Amino acid sequence: MTRPPIRPLTPDALLDELAEAIHARGVPDAGSVRVLVDGAAAARPDRWADGLVERLRGLSRAVLRVSAWDFLRPASLRLERGRTDPDAFYDDWLDAGALVREVLAPAAAGRPVLPRLWDVETDRAVRAARVDLPPGGVLLVDGPLLLGRGLPAELEVHVSLSAGALARRTPEPDAWTLPAYARYVEEVDPGALADLVVLADHPDRPALQTRE
């Protein structure tokens, strides 16, 4: 089996290519291009998503950034098995149904999107106003463990770290999440599932892997 090509790039060049790939995607009728930027917290998918905003706007695309961390379940559900249970982190933390209902489905239909749902710090719903995203806009959703959940998207990007790099770059208080990410690799294999993979063991010397 032929392995997908891997091309070392500078961070800026890699972001340029990601933006062009998003820009080239077809748009749902009257809707927006939905892009999942997936990766462990230590891989900083939020930074890659942030880097895409300016480039996409430079291509005359309206952009809305949404973080999956703002669509977690209430603590009473999320932490039912304890605060440091990796299986709970994998299975129970993200409210995937709400993310589809409030963000991904409306974006495809050209309806206003709810940018935030839940404040983890206060453990309360956020009274956020819905945001209009013009037809042809781009919705960027970043966060961990997003792939393999049936979240609808036109493009999936996975920011990948090797097991060693992930362990080194994960702060000690968060080391309990490492088994969840190992399970994710074993059960979902996000590197094979994503349309584009950012190899980010060395953030200043990343590489881009594309599916043939």
Distance CA 63, CA 138 (A): 5
% of the chain with per-residue pLDDT over 70: 98
What per-residue confidence (pLDDT) applies to 55?
A: 97
Residue 122: inside a domain: yes
Q: Looking at the predicted structure, is the pLDDT value of residue 85 above 70?
A: yes
Q: Residue 2 pLDDT more than 90?
A: no
Is 89 within the bounds of a domain? yes
DSSP classification of residue 112: -
Rg (CA), the chain: 17
Q: How many beta carbons lie within 10 A of that of residue 178, not counting itself?
A: 16
Q: What's the confidence (pLDDT) of residue 169?
A: 97
Separation of alpha carbons 93 and 96, rounded Å: 9
Structure token pair of residue 201: 């063991």
The pTM (predicted TM-score) of the whole model is 0.95
What average pLDDT does range 85-105 have in this prediction? 98
Q: 136 versus 5: which is more confidently predicted?
A: 136
pLDDT tens-digit readout, 25-83: 988 778 999 999 999 999 999 999 999 999 999 999 999 999 999 999 999 999 999 99
- Greatest pairwise CA separation for the chain in angstroms: 50
Percentage of the chain exceeding pLDDT 90? 93
- For residue 207, being part of any structural domain is answered with no
The domain spanning residue 112 has which CATH number? Answer: 3.40.50.300
pLDDT of residue 211: 75
Nearest to 44 by CA among 76, 67, 23, 25: 67
Work out the average pLDDT over 146-171. 97
Query: How many domains in the chain?
Result: 1
pLDDT of 29: 77
Using alpha carbons, list the distances in angstroms from residue 78 to 7, 66, 102, 129, 187.
39, 20, 19, 25, 21
In a domain, 97, yes or no: yes
Average pLDDT over every residue of 193-203: 96
Task: State how far the Cα of 80 lies from the Cα of 51, in Å rounded to an integer.
Answer: 36
Tokens (6 digits) for 96: 């995937």
Average pLDDT in the chain: 95
* Sign of the torsion angle spanned by Cα atoms 43, 188, 153, 114: negative
Average pLDDT rounded to a whole number, residues 113-127: 96
- Reduced to 3 states (helix: H, G, I; strand: E, B; else coil), residue 78 is helix
Q: Is residue 210 part of a domain?
A: no
Sheet holding 33-39, edge to edge: 6-8, 207-210, 196-199, 155-160, 33-39, 138-143, 63-67
Q: Judge whether 161 lies within some domain.
A: yes
In a domain, 59, yes or no: yes
Residue 76 within any structural domain of the chain: yes
Query: What value does the mean pLDDT take over residues 87-114?
Result: 97
Domain containing residue 78: 6-25+34-200
Using pLDDT thresholds of 50, 70 and 90, give the confidence band for residue 212.
low
pLDDT at res. 1: 45
